Every structure is written in structure tokens, then in C-alpha cells.
Amino acid sequence: MFKNIFGAKKITMTNEEVEKEMKVEDGQKFGVSEEMLLFGGFQELNEYFFFEGLFLSTKSFKSKVGATITFSGKQGTFSLPSAIQEFECDYAKPLQRHVTQISFDVTKAQIKRLQSGAYDTIDFHVKNKHFFLDKK
């Protein structure tokens, strides 16, 4: 009887189930954790380069002051500042995740490091939240 009123216990999708439901045409998976999946790709506009990150998170976040993403590995650490300052997540009900796309300024050398997989962990920092991801 109470199930009819309050509904059955909500079952959330696993990261693997989310990936099966997604259709990523451009980009690749860069990082994964229990809280977040990160897909990304690279864009060039008038000799400026951008890392376009697609974040799928179990938690919602928004910012008016931007974000930073830090890649760390044996070859060192480098951080990318967001190219946009204001963003927020939209809830994608079929994926049971909060989704947002954020552009980050990146250099050609950093693109090469990311494409070669020269990182082990990712720290996505927005406001007072840190999301730690492992390499795909």
C-alpha cells in the first residue's frame, strides 16, 4: 500500500548502463568515478583551443565564477580554467544524471598530453565541490 503512495525504492543506473544509453559522436571518455563520468573533445576557433567537457554527475552543480579541471600523472600536473564562467546542470531523466557541457582553455601541448593519456587522475573543482575521477 505504501509503495503506491510513495513509490518503490528508486534504482539508479550504473555508469556502464549510462554509457550504453548515450550516443557520443564526437569525443571520448576521459574520466570516471562513482559520482561522475567525463567525456570530452577538442575544438579550435581562430587559433584558440578548447577542451569541451561533457560532465554527467549524480550531483547537481552550478557556478557564476567558473571551474577548474586538473589533470595529474607521472609527467606532472596541469590545470585548465573554464572558458565560460556561468553554467549549471540540467537533469537528464533517461540517464538519471545531471549533465552540463563546459569549455576549458587548452594549449596544443596540453592537447597532446591528454590525447596520449599522460594523466592518471582528474580533479574537477567547481565552487566548493571537488569531483575526483580516475583515467577511463
Domain spans of the chain, in order of start: 8-135
What is the tens place of the pLDDT at every residue in 19-60? 566 665 567 889 999 999 999 999 998 889 999 999 999 999
Helical segments of the chain, H only:
2-6, 15-21, 108-116
Q: Compute the distance between CA of residue 88 and CA of residue 45 in angstroms, rounded to an integer.
A: 24
Asked: is 8-135 a CATH 1.10.3470 domain? The reply is no
Of the pLDDT bands very low, low, confident and very high (cuts 50, 70, 90), residue 93 is: confident
